[in-house]
Structure 1
Amino acid sequence: MAEKGIPMHFVSSRTRLRRAVVATCGASALLLAASATAGSGAAAAAAADGPGGHGNDPSPGGAVITVKTAKVGAPGNPSVGVVPFTDAIYQSCADAPQTPTGCLTVGGVRYPYEIGQLEVTVEQWVAFLNTVDPEGRNRLRLYDDTESSSAWPKYGQINLSANAGSGRHYSVAFPEWANKPYGFANFLRAARFVNSLYNGRLISEQSSSSGDFTYVTYRIRLSARTDRGMYDLTRPNATRAHDSGFVVPSQDEWIKAAYYDPNGGGTYSYWKYPTNEGVFGDGDATAPNPTVLNPTTGDVTNAADQPLASYHASGLPAPSWCPGQLQPEACATVNPIGLDPITYADAYQGSLSTVGQTRTTSPWGTLDQGGNAVEWTDTITAPPSGRNSARVWRRLHGGVSNAPAFQMWPSAVGLQPQDNEFYNHTYPWLGIRIGVIGDLRPGTS
């Protein structure tokens, strides 16, 4: 499969879905078809200069969230070469065959860092929304109507109530969604979340270990300031502005955490899946087992079937659930895109599962880097056309509950415009995993 500007797979119905979406959504739907084919003022900016943990946010009203990271060591590890979406890995791109899609060198990171053990959850995202938008006005476009349980029964994670009190306008649609990955992210949303962490107050930090893995648990009071921090979002091609603090992981950081085995397992010390070594060149023969979900809660029911990941295995139903508070017919038919029930059922099969319940760890102790939601990185890349573009494109990585096993390979280096508004309306599997660079320490206001 050639490199695409779309980091996911709509099972066997891609052509039919494109035609249906174009017919129902008009000109904006052409963005999907094209992709598949190929501020704050000066005072606020000054206040946002320091990373979270240095007590630089005097406002006491932000929500407090807890995030747990896995430490990734072995600085200076070797990188490998990958040809996008092919079942192979190379010691270097010099060893790779010449193809129209070229070869990418990935996975080498020269410094220690941390990466989220889990994806950012709906509950954490709701806390962020109520912190940065306490009056529910959505001026930063961090919410879309299609995210509601009424507009999209099967995938609606968050409801917005105009009549709620300050700081309470956003709510988790149903309790079962609280610990699922937030699935409607674009890069700008991910960067604002990271800026809120960066500008917030780090209340506590606690290290722990489990077997060979080392973790750090942070409690942070979120900041309402999101224009600047780790990323200056007044600049469309924002990169990291500081060498310490919370970040959106880079593609190399993400790939190393998912695949690089410091003990030398796999091929050239890289696994084929974030769940197990696998065998390059055997297709999906050594892929992890697919999850089976409780049909009304989305909890994983077959955690004993290790290794395990939430993806759509060939010849099997995709992992799926419908909130028990709803009628199954609503989940099967009601959608904001206007697709007929047959096309909808074919295109939108997989559901996000409760984070961490697969229990299968990467070489560094992360969970769900294989399967569940595809995740943003902050790595900027050229558009798939190869021509100059006014839009900023960034890499994504990870499996998808609606996609086959190949989406979990190291070579599945997807890319998308960082502000793809159409996907905000139509794609419920785009997630966030945070990272940490440098050294954070609790601070006081």
Structure 2
Amino acid sequence: MPFVSSRSRLRRAVTAICGTSALLAPAALAGTGAAAAGEPLPGSAVGAGAVVTMTTAVVGSPGNPAVGVVPFTDAVYQSCADAPATLGDCLMVGGVGYPYQIGQFEVTVEQWVAFLNTADPNGRDPHGLYDETESSTLWPKYGQINFSSGAGAGRHYSVAYPQWADKPYGFADFLRAARFVNSLFNGRLLSTTTSTSGDFHYVSYRVELSPRTEDGMYDLARPDAARTRDSGFVLPSQDEWIKAAYYDPRGGGTYSYWKYPTNPGVFGDGEATAPHPTVLDPATGDVTNAATQPLASYHATGMPAPSWCPAQVRPQECSTVNPIGLDPRAYAEVYQGSLSTVGQARTTSPWGTLDQGGNAVEWTDTITAPPSGQNSKRVWRRLHGGISNASAYQMWPSAVGLQPQDNVFFNHTYPWLGIRIGVIGDLRPCPPR
């Protein structure tokens, strides 16, 4: 990735993040301990941005070695020359030559609603940021966000039930994720705050979102949109995501890579050293067994998947009503796992991130070839992290998943697709006006 001089980089970063929106007020509504998101500011004009706080973990050790993985196999290799040829194609992953930052948490429903009301203040949704299957009416168990056509400008979208506010947004495709990043990139950076916890370093960015979503870090006029700047908010690349989740700068694990984002594990032992699965409060989705470490929200073999449904919904609706038309038995079999409150599993990666193992699978901006044997004009991207409805192997570094970036079917039917942002280069608050 090319870099420019520090002075030029700083100038471009300030230009990018300050955008053109005016600073209207210094305060945002407080959200969860994990993140904060604000409603459109009182008295603001249509299109003025809500304020969100995004906290990132600092990832250092630039120039770390990559590791070889064969997709979905229980091993890592010092190089692909060491991988058995019979296993299939090997990829070298996880090596990153520059410092960067990655979201400490997944993007929450509250943050996404703040973005929706900023990007689509009139409720017309020209860019497909919302689908009615995300509503609590059509999908009582998984519906996170409700839409009201009669609401005032900048207030058409709302968190379906309070319990959803601090859960990961779960209906993202890559294009939605890129638009969220562009809104951050084009927004106004109001303040940055640094903090430490043990060996981990964090930066919290307080940003007034921008309604400008079609360009910025990603030019979405291009189907194969890639990063257009060397400073700003991004979606992590596959290598950035894997390094933050698995690379141990202290040399733990195998070739300095953990098997899970929660603990070093032992490659080759199947699920024997997997983290413990979360247990969720059935009415709130809060993690109730955080004292049991290491911990992740996934579906452990032989155990029920972590699950909850908002207390406001009748149990029969939770177990039967779905937008796909599945009968209750098939619905119970296919849709078992639920998203848990971000950060409550408490188990950190080697760099201090939370929930990179389990909960929602997360998009990267890495473009990849379509599955073997397929001809596709669509753009495919890598995803990582496992989900609350999948087994432990989905949390391995070799779980290099891929999907079309615009998979509309998944938007309708897959409530575990999440977003974790990243930061490259240097960002500074906008000068006062």
Partner SS for 2:18: coil
Aligned residue for 2:105? Answer: 118
Aligned residue for 1:349? Answer: 336
Aligned residue for 2:17? Answer: 53
- Larger RCO (CA under 8 A, 6+ residues apart): 1
Structure 1 runs of 4+ aligned residues shifted over 6 Å read: none
**Quick one: distance in 2 between partners of 1:344 and 1:71?**
41
Query: Superposed, which structure 2 residues align to 1:262-411 within 5 Å?
Result: 262-411=249-398
Aligned residue for 1:226? Answer: 213
**Quick one: distance in 2 between partners of 1:59 and 1:160?**
27
User: Do 2:70 and 2:87's aligned partners in 1 also have CA atoms closer than 8 Å?
Assistant: no
**Quick one: distance in 1 between partners of 2:13 and 2:258?**
38
Which consecutive unaligned segments of at least 5 residues does structure 1 have?
A: 1-47
Match of 1:206 among 185, 193, 199: 193
Deviation at residue 240 of structure 1 after TM alignment: 0.2
User: Do 1:181 and 1:373's aligned partners in 2 also have CA atoms closer than 8 Å?
Assistant: yes
User: Do 1:52 and 1:246's aligned partners in 2 also have CA atoms closer than 8 Å?
Assistant: no
Matched, 1:82 2:46: no
Query: Superposed, which structure 2 residues align to 1:10-89 within 5 Å?
Result: 52-58=16-22, 60=24, 61-89=48-76
Deviation at residue 389 of structure 1 after TM alignment: 1.9
- Give the letter for the 2:135 counterpart: S
- TM-score, structure 2 as length reference: 0.90
Match of 1:134 among 102, 105, 121: 121
**Quick one: distance in 2 between partners of 1:305 and 1:207?**
29
**Quick one: distance in 2 between partners of 1:271 and 1:385?**
28
**Quick one: distance in 2 between partners of 1:321 and 1:171?**
20
**Quick one: distance in 2 between partners of 1:387 and 1:154?**
35
Match of 2:157 among 140, 148, 170: 170
**Quick one: distance in 2 between partners of 1:99 and 1:386?**
18
Aligned residue for 1:4? Answer: none
**Quick one: distance in 2 between partners of 1:113 and 1:388?**
35
Matched, 1:158 2:115: no
Deviation at residue 387 of structure 1 after TM alignment: 4.6
Aligned residue for 1:250? Answer: 237
- Give the letter for the 1:172 counterpart: V
Relative to structure 1, the CA distance from residue 199 to residue 50 in structure 2 (aligned partners, 3 Å threshold; closer, same or farther) is: farther
**Quick one: distance in 1 between partners of 2:170 and 2:66?**
30
User: Do 1:259 and 1:271's aligned partners in 2 also have CA atoms closer than 8 Å?
Assistant: yes
- Give the letter for the 1:293 counterpart: L
- TM-score, structure 1 as length reference: 0.88
- Give the letter for the 2:72 counterpart: F
User: Do 1:51 and 1:246's aligned partners in 2 also have CA atoms closer than 8 Å?
Assistant: no
**Quick one: distance in 2 between partners of 1:183 and 1:139?**
20
Aligned residue for 2:247? Answer: 260
Deviation at residue 386 of structure 1 after TM alignment: 4.7
User: Do 2:13 and 2:427's aligned partners in 1 also have CA atoms closer than 8 Å?
Assistant: no
Deviation at residue 51 of structure 1 after TM alignment: 5.6
Match of 1:420 among 390, 402, 407: 407
Match of 1:186 among 158, 163, 173: 173
- TM-align CA RMSD: 1.3
User: Do 1:266 and 1:277's aligned partners in 2 also have CA atoms closer than 8 Å?
Assistant: yes
Deviation at residue 397 of structure 1 after TM alignment: 0.2
- Give the letter for the 2:274 counterpart: A
Deviation at residue 101 of structure 1 after TM alignment: 3.7
**Quick one: distance in 1 between partners of 2:348 and 2:383?**
20
User: Do 1:50 and 1:229's aligned partners in 2 also have CA atoms closer than 8 Å?
Assistant: no
Partner SS for 2:52: strand
Deviation at residue 49 of structure 1 after TM alignment: 9.4
Deviation at residue 97 of structure 1 after TM alignment: 1.1
Matched, 1:105 2:71: no
Relative to structure 1, the CA distance from residue 439 to residue 298 in structure 2 (aligned partners, 3 Å threshold; closer, same or farther) is: same
**Quick one: distance in 1 between partners of 2:245 and 2:116?**
29
1:255-297 residue CA offsets vs partner (Å, 9 max, x unmatched): 0000000000000000000000000000000000000000000
Relative to structure 1, the CA distance from residue 424 to residue 314 in structure 2 (aligned partners, 3 Å threshold; closer, same or farther) is: same
Aligned residue for 2:31? Answer: none
**Quick one: distance in 1 between partners of 2:323 and 2:19?**
42
**Quick one: distance in 2 between partners of 1:410 and 1:100?**
16
User: Do 1:59 and 1:223's aligned partners in 2 also have CA atoms closer than 8 Å?
Assistant: no
**Quick one: distance in 1 between partners of 2:19 and 2:349?**
33
Deviation at residue 298 of structure 1 after TM alignment: 0.1
Q: Percent identity between the aligned chains?
A: 76
Q: Greater CA deviation, 99-108 or 214-223?
A: 99-108
**Quick one: distance in 2 between partners of 1:206 and 1:49?**
17
**Quick one: distance in 2 between partners of 1:135 and 1:392?**
30
Deviation at residue 99 of structure 1 after TM alignment: 3.8
Partner SS for 1:53: helix
1:41-92 residue CA offsets vs partner (Å, 9 max, x unmatched): xxxxxxx997653354348520000010000000000000000000000001
User: Do 2:13 and 2:426's aligned partners in 1 also have CA atoms closer than 8 Å?
Assistant: no
**Quick one: distance in 1 between partners of 2:260 and 2:194?**
27
1:165-204 residue CA offsets vs partner (Å, 9 max, x unmatched): 1100000000000000000000000000000000000000
**Quick one: distance in 1 between partners of 2:199 and 2:76?**
26
Partner SS for 1:295: coil
Partner SS for 1:253: helix
